[in-house]
Amino acid sequence: MAIEKYMAIAGLALCIFFVAEIITIFNYMSNSLLDDVILFEAKPKIFQFISMSVAPATIMFGVSFWLSKRYGSKLNGSLIALGGIVVLIGMGFAYSMIPNIDAKLIDDSIHITPILFMIVSIPIIIVGLRLFKTKLRKPKKNYLDDNF
């Protein structure tokens, strides 16, 4: 496998990691005792999760797309599109968990993050599907070569 395939796999893993982190923090905020979450703020943790997982995943997907855009790769395209689908479904599930969270713990980052990444996942899916459409290019014939 070439490096672009490994980068697409790493991007997919980071997308899964991000969705798991967001769902875990929302689950903690909805099911914990009030004494445990008095000193808890979600905004720094969410920003930390974004910078640790989905930002590097986007870079990985971008580099993987850039390396394979000339020849097209169904595997890379499917991995990139699958990463976008995972984020879309995961953020939809996280958004459905918001009504269960105590009102004292909800701030603007709780509402913005799922919606923002549902919107961001759609272009990622489109970029992944674009690799399906790319055709293999024939190599240029070297007319100056003497080998027949």
Give the model's pLDDT for residue 19: 96
pLDDT means per 10 residues, the chain with 148 residues, are 86 95 90 65 89 92 87 86 95 93 84 93 91 69 66
Give the model's pLDDT for residue 103: 79
Q: 77: closest CA among 89, 90, 88, 64?
A: 64
Distance CA 54, CA 47 (A): 10
State both tokens at 23: 């769902």
Distance CA 13, CA 3 (A): 15
Contact yes or no for 93/16 (Cβ under 8 A): no
The residue with tokens 């939809």 is: 92
Give the model's pLDDT for residue 22: 94
Give the model's pLDDT for residue 33: 66
Give the model's pLDDT for residue 9: 93
How many helices (H) and strands (E) are present in the chain, helices listed first?
Answer: 5, 0
Question: Helix 108-133 vs helix 42-49: angle between axes, to the nearest 10 degrees?
Answer: 10
Question: Helix 108-133 vs helix 3-31: angle between axes, to the nearest 10 degrees?
Answer: 160
Distances in Å between the Cα of 90 and the Cα atoms of 27, 85, 95, 115, 120 are 13, 8, 9, 11, 13
Give the model's pLDDT for residue 3: 87
Give the model's pLDDT for residue 147: 65
CB atoms within 10 A of CB 118: 17
Contact yes or no for 18/86 (Cβ under 8 A): no
Give, rounded to a whole angstrom, the gap between the first and last alpha carbons of the chain: 32
Give the model's pLDDT for residue 122: 94
